[in-house]
């Protein structure tokens, strides 16, 4: 039996499987692909209209109803788990173990959001009691809570076919908030997206909800994505992808007659700072750990630590040698698509020009091997290109003269998803000097670890100043992600019968 058995190759729009006039072909690494409908602006329009119709009953539904729906989606995904893994592995080249773990993360965050909204804290309900006798003017009864923003557009990500795609964090947090979702599927894994869409459709039917709550439009062109961002019924967008593509969509969102929030996670080099005492005593261990983190999943993580700052000297030599040994033992790995592999080689060649290349891979086709290069702090500071993300297993070591230059490097950074300090107790004074700078630069700061791996939790911040993201105050991972798709509404002197239940009990 073909792994594509049971796939329609069609869009899911408001509960109906809809064919397209044109098609594109999936390009799996392990088998022959199949044709999928190529989405158009007309398909996006139909999905957005259905989402708007669904918004009214869904936004008014109880938290218990939405929690049951999220849990049901998780159940339906798990029921299709083996097929999702098989198709995902064929399409992306990712190992089954990685996809099984990612599936668990996807269902886990759905269930976590369900539990979170049942508690009600995310609504941030507030009350200022009426003061009718206050002089010189009385104060009215004021109550406030968060309300769903409206239909949400979501873009599937290339590097996470489950956790950041059809039922990933953006979709899950929007549904938890009470917002219908229109997903523009990523062409790197259309079969995986359809299987997940089947699971969501089954959950909608089982829970008796409006079919317009979720739609999936497949596409390998710009038309559907641009139409999604510009559609007047779409009130917010979630995106994980490249800086160039995300910035173009962000500009479209801002240029609308009524601009909307565009929550884009765009890229990061996730710098690590190796402080002197830690470098002296742990250079080999840090070098080996960095090599493993840098090449995990062929370096195709937004949190890939591609940049390391060290003070030049023998300890830096030891770190570099350990990193080289670790990277030299890593075989070539398949990348997610041929274009991503080509872009990696092109970006690597552009970035390494003018640096000292320590390790160069000879990868061809869809595969990529690790690359390592080094540069002085002076050269790094003079060339902003060195600080740009190259999506893949490329590491750049920046050797600075002293700790003053190390601090200057931190000040010169653009926005990042993460920054990491490797330190011992003897490095505390320097770390205290660096920390306020790194707080301005990154959404997450680590000590003695590696940033690949993002915990789905209440206290997680996955975002950061531009160009890491387009919204410095929000996260795309963790329960706080739900707040992106809510807005505060204040209610003044409303009678009890008009208040939401959560405000009546204040």
HSE of 19 in the Cβ direction (CA atoms, 13 Å)? 3
Determine whether 91 is an active site residue: no
In sequence order, what are the residues at sequence separation of 6 or more whose Cβ sits closer than 8 angstroms to the Cβ of residue 60? none
In sequence order, what are the residues at sequence separation of 6 or more whose Cβ sits closer than 8 angstroms to the Cβ of residue 215? 11, 12, 13, 14, 46, 47, 50, 51, 181, 182, 183
Q: Tell me: cis bond preceding 282? Omega within 30 of 0 counts.
A: no
Please, what's the b/e burial string for 386-413 (b: 16 or more CB within 10 A of its CB; e: otherwise)? bbbbbbbbbbbbbbbeebebbbebbeeb
User: What are the tokens at 34?
Assistant: 């199949």
The Cα–Cα gap between 480 and 117 comes to 11
Q: Is 215 helix (H, G, I), strand (E, B) or coil?
A: strand
Q: Is 15 helix (H, G, I), strand (E, B) or coil?
A: coil
Q: Are strands 272-274 and 416-422 parallel, antiparallel or unpaired?
A: parallel
The Cα–Cα gap between 99 and 85 comes to 6
Check if the beta carbon of residue 303 is closer than 8 Å to that of residue 454. yes
Selected catalytic residue, list 52, 91, 265, 320: 265
| Cβ count within 10 A of residue 119 | 11
Between the alpha carbon of residue 264 and those of residues 145, 260, 276, 356, the distances in Å are: 25, 12, 36, 34
Selected catalytic residue, list 52, 91, 179, 302: 302
Q: Which phi and psi (to 5°) does residue 402 adopt?
A: -160, 180
Check if the beta carbon of residue 484 is closer than 8 Å to that of residue 238. yes
Check if the beta carbon of residue 147 is closer than 8 Å to that of residue 494. no
The Cα–Cα gap between 259 and 234 comes to 10
Q: Is 194 helix (H, G, I), strand (E, B) or coil?
A: helix
The Cα–Cα gap between 146 and 485 comes to 9
DSSP state of 168: S
DSSP state of 132: T
In sequence order, what are the residues at sequence separation of 6 or more whose Cβ sits closer than 8 angstroms to the Cβ of residue 53? 210, 212
Determine whether 254 is an active site residue: no
- For 53, the enclosing helix (H) or strand (E) is helix 41-59
With CA atoms as reference, report the closest residue to 39 among 60, 56, 22: 22
Residues annotated as part of the active site? 265, 302
């Amino acid at each position: 039996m073909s792994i594509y058995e049971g796939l329609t190759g069609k869009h899911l729009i408001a509960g109906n499987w809809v064919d397209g006039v044109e098609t594109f072909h999936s390009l799996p690494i392990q088998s022959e692909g199949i044709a999928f409908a190529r989405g158009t602006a007309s398909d996006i329009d139909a999905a957005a209209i259905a989402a708007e119709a669904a918004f009214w009953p869904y936004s008014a539904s109880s938290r218990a109803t939405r929690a049951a729906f999220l849990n049901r989606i998780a159940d339906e995904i798990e029921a299709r788990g083996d097929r999702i893994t098989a198709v995902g592995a064929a399409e992306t080249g990712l190992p089954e173990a990685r996809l099984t773990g990612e599936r668990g993360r996807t269902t886990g965050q759905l269930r976590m959001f369900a539990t979170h909204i049942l508690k009600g804290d995310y609504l941030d309900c507030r009350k200022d009691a009426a003061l009718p006798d206050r002089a010189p003017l009385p104060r009215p009864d004021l109550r406030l809570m968060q309300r769903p923003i409206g239909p949400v557009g979501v873009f599937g990500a290339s590097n996470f076919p489950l956790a950041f795609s059809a039922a990933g964090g953006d979709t899950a947090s929007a549904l938890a908030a009470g917002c219908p979702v229109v997903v523009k599927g990523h062409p790197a894994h259309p079969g995986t997206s359809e299987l997940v869409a089947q699971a969501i459709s089954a959950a909608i039917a089982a829970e008796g909800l409006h079919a317009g709550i979720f739609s999936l439009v497949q596409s390998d062109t710009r038309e559907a994505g641009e139409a999604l961002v510009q559609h007047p019924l779409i009130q917010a967008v979630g995106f994980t992808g490249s800086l160039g593509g995300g910035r173009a969509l962000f500009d479209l969102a801002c240029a609308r007659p009524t601009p909307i929030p565009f929550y884009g996670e765009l890229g990061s080099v996730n710098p690590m700072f190796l402080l002197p005492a830690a470098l002296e005593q742990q250079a080999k261990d840090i070098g080996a750990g960095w090599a493993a983190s840098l090449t995990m999943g062929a370096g195709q993580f937004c949190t890939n630590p591609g940049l390391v700052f060290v003070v030049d000297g023998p300890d830096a030599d030891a770190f570099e040698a350990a990193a080289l040994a670790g990277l030299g033992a890593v075989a070539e790995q398949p990348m997610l698509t041929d274009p991503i592999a080509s872009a990696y080689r092109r970006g690597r060649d552009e970035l390494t020009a003018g640096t000292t290349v320590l390790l160069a891979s000879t990868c061809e086709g869809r595969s990529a091997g690790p690359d390592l290069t080094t540069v002085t702090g002076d050269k790094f500071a003079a060339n902003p290109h060195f600080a740009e993300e190259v999506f893949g297993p490329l590491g750049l070591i920046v050797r600075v003269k002293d700790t003053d230059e190390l601090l200057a490097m931190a000040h010169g950074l653009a926005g990042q998803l993460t920054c990491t300090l490797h330190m011992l107790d003897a490095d505390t004074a320097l770390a205290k000097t660096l920390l306020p700078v790194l707080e301005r630069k990154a959404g997450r700061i680590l000590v003695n670890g590696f940033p690949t791996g993002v915990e789905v939790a209440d206290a997680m911040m996955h975002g950061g100043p531009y160009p890491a993201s387009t919204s410095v105050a929000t996260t795309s991972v963790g329960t706080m992600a739900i707040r992106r798709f809510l807005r505060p509404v204040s209610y003044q002197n409303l009678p009890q019968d008009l208040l939401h239940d959560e405000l009546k009990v204040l």
